[in-house]
Structure 1
Amino acid sequence: MVRLPLTPAEVERGQRLGALLRRARGGRSMLLTALDAGVSPETLRKIESGRVATPAFPTIAAIADVLGLSLDEVWSEINSSGAAGRLAPSERRLAS
């Protein structure tokens, strides 16, 4: 399977997601957070650093649950800064 390159908007959303998760995790260990969410510490590290800009929904849902974040909060944060206006047409349909 060939993976298409990420758009600048996807990269930016991935960076905002990573920042949100780092803030929500606070002083909590990355290892314990990852294990509680059922993901590898490497996966969490890559998401937090923005290296995985489009993680799978179940992964984000599990991490958000462990950190006490609602999916509404996550969605709102990653689509802030006017990013919704830069979504591709197919992504705008999903966002509405």
Structure 2
Amino acid sequence: MVRLPLTPAEAERGQRLGALLRRARGERSMLETALDARVSPETLRKIESGRVATPAFPTVAAIAEVLGLSLDEVWAEINQQERVVEPGSRRRSAREWLAS
């Protein structure tokens, strides 16, 4: 499977996701959080740093659950800048975003 390069908006969304997860994790160790979410510490590190801007939905859901975040909170936070839609453009639906 060939992955297309991320758009600037996707990269920015990945940065917002990473920042949200870092804030929610607080003083909790990355290792503890990753193990509780059943993801590798390297995966969590990459997501938090924005290097993985479009992580798999089950991964995000598992991390959010461990951190006590609702998926609604995550969705609202990472899409905050996309609320302004330019004329003639189309926002991607949640289903389209999760499929990417």
Instruction: Describe how 1:15-94 pairs up with structure 2 within 5 A.
Output: 15-81=15-81, 83-84=82-83, 85=85, 89=90, 91-92=92-93, 94=95
TM-score norm. by structure 2 comes to: 0.86
Report the CA distance between 1:2 and its aligned residue. Answer: 1.1
Q: Which amino acid aligns with 1:73?
A: E
Distance 1:35 1:23, change over 3 A: same
- 1:2 aligned counterpart, secondary structure: coil
Structure 1 equivalent of residue 5 of structure 2: 5
Report the CA distance between 1:94 and its aligned residue. Answer: 3.9
- 1:34 aligned counterpart, secondary structure: helix
TM-score norm. by structure 1 comes to: 0.89
Q: Which sections of structure 1, spanning at least 5 residues, go unmatched?
A: none
Q: Which amino acid aligns with 1:51?
A: R
- 1:91 aligned counterpart, secondary structure: coil
CA distance in 1, matches of 2:94, 2:34: 31
RMSD: 1.9
CA distance in 1, matches of 2:94, 2:69: 24
Report the CA distance between 1:89 and its aligned residue. Answer: 3.8
Q: Which sections of structure 2, spanning at least 5 residues, go unmatched?
A: none
